[in-house]
Amino acid sequence: MEKIRRASHAGSWYTDDPKKLEEELEGWLSDTGLTKSPDVRGVIAPHAGYSYSGRAAAYAFGNIDPTNITRVFLLGPSHHYYTPKCALSTAAVYKTPIGDLPIDLEVIEELKATGKFELMDLQVDEHEHSMEMHLPYLAKIFEGHPVKVVPILVGAVSADNEAMYGCLLAKYVDDPTNFFSVSSDFCHWGSRYVSLYAGLHGTFLLLNVFVFIEEV
């Protein structure tokens, strides 16, 4: 029986009402006035609740032209589970209130075969919000297009490991049918965070991928 990751933050971090969610996403995307571009190969978008970041995230996802994209690599930082590595999902499907996204099990197996990734169990996967906050937008943008996702949880990776993962993922960036959606809050502001905190999380991993490609 295939594992299904529930939309565990629907109803709290964003609405679980499909009609309302569709209306919100469509409105935010329309308000950006952006033109879809096939040259956009990756985005960095926030992962706060939609009441805080939904409108801002539209300025990333609104650029995506889904026409020739068949696979989305989804990278998000780990907030609750410690690992010095990156971890792969063990689910087969990611659910959203407006449509489900199948996981590319073939690529998951390729990455697993490198021996460099951990596997996260379903409980860890569902507890983490960073990747889930991108899923409704991806489901909306790729509606009607046969796309699969490759979720990668980014742990507390060292600079050396960032470079190593960059090398491993570089061949996928080379393929124009692949897209990268990176979840990162660039700053946390307010008394809860003491001061301004640059929350770049796993963003450096994506940058290492592109730096590696430029060098070769």
Q: How many domains does the chain have?
A: 1
Half-sphere exposure of 9 (CA within 13 A, CB side): 19
- Render pLDDT for 104-146 as a digit per residue (tens, 0 to 9): 999 999 999 999 999 999 999 999 989 999 999 999 999 999 9
Residues 6 or more apart from 156 whose CB is under 8 A from it?
Answer: 78, 82, 83, 84
pTM for this prediction = 0.87
Is residue 150 in a domain? Answer: no
What is the reported pLDDT for 140?
97
Mean pLDDT, to the nearest integer, of 85-91? 95
Written as one letter, the residue type at 128 is: E
Is residue 111 in a domain? Answer: yes
- Render pLDDT for 19-57 as a digit per residue (tens, 0 to 9): 999 999 999 999 999 999 999 999 989 888 899 999 999
Is residue 149 in a domain? Answer: no
pLDDT over 90 at 75, yes or no: yes
Which residue segment(s) compose the domain that 94 sits in? 4-144+156-215
At 172, list the tokens: 């996928």
Is residue 131 in a domain? Answer: yes
Indicate which CATH number applies to the domain containing 161. Answer: 3.40.830.10
Band (pLDDT 50/70/90 cuts) for residue 158 is confident
Is residue 31 in a domain? Answer: yes
- Render pLDDT for 6-22 as a digit per residue (tens, 0 to 9): 999 999 999 999 999 99
Say what angle helices 18-32 and 50-61 make with each other, to 10 degrees. 50
Written as one letter, the residue type at 187 is: C
Q: 198, 93 in Cβ contact below 8 A?
A: no
Is residue 33 in a domain? Answer: yes
Is residue 139 in a domain? Answer: yes
Tokens 């009607």 correspond to: 144
